[in-house]
């Protein structure tokens, strides 16, 4: 998993509450377990019409938001069914951070397991970011080490994050990477077990 330290990127506003995982990545794109390529299905029904043509009025299709790396959204982002494809699709599209007032628990947990940073800010702070993102300057800075978001106008908002999750994100550790940190101790344990309980080693 790629480490997340500091991100300087465009921010795109999506002022909708209760965006669920089927809206983030519709079910027809769940036939693969590969992470690459899922960006094409991100917000598919928002981005395209029934003929597969881009909707010019959707924020991520507008020229000024092309390449956005941060999304600021309404309450309860990521609700609905549990699908790890949702953070995969966001990241494959180029979005590395989502800011909201609240997230669905399963989606929130899945973000940390895949290197996508979910940031919870106060309602008035999210609204400020929404309004600034609609202006001419769309650049923000998300600093995980400092736990801050700097808006296009320079306002600084602080956010809270579990220290262990913060450490894993800063060091690019998913569940497997965290386990591999204990590899020497695991090797010692398995060596001792092979001597004391050799029957467990037999095929």
Q: Does pLDDT of 194 surpass 70? A: no
Please state the domain extents for the chain.
6-172
CATH topology of domain 6-172: Aconitase; domain 4 (3.20.19)
Question: From CA 81, how far away is CA 112, in angstroms rounded?
Answer: 17
Question: From CA 49, how far away is CA 52, in angstroms rounded?
Answer: 5
pTM: 0.85
pLDDT tens-place string over residues 100-135 = 999 999 999 999 999 999 999 999 999 999 999 998
Compute φ and ψ for 153, nearest 5 degrees.
-90, -5
Mean predicted confidence (pLDDT) in 178-190? 56
**Are the beta carbons of 77 and 107 closer than 8 angstroms?**
yes
Question: From CA 48, how far away is CA 34, in angstroms rounded?
Answer: 23
């Amino acid at each position: 998993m790629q480490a997340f330290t500091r991100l300087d990127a465009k921010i795109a506003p999506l002022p909708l509450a209760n965006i669920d995982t089927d809206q983030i990545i519709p079910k027809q794109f769940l036939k693969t377990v590969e992470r690459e390529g899922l960006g094409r299905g991100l917000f598919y029904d928002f981005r395209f019409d029934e003929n597969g043509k881009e909707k010019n009025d959707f924020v991520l299709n507008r020229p000024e938001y092309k390449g956005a790396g941060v999304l600021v959204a309404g309450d309860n982002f990521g609700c609905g069914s549990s699908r790890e494809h949702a953070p995969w699709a966001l990241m494959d599209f180029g979005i590395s951070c989502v800011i909201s007032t609240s997230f669905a628990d399963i989606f929130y947990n899945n973000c940390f397991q895949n290197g996508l940073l979910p940031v919870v800010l106060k309602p008035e702070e999210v609204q400020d970011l929404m309004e600034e993102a609609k202006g001419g300057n769309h650049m923000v800075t998300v600093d995980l080490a400092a736990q801050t978001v700097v808006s296009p106008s320079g306002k600084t908002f602080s956010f809270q994050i579990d220290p262990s999750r913060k450490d894993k994100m800063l060091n690019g550790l998913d569940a497997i990477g965290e386990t591999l940190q204990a590899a020497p101790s695991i090797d010692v344990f398995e060596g001792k077990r092979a001597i004391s309980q050799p029957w467990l080693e037999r095929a």
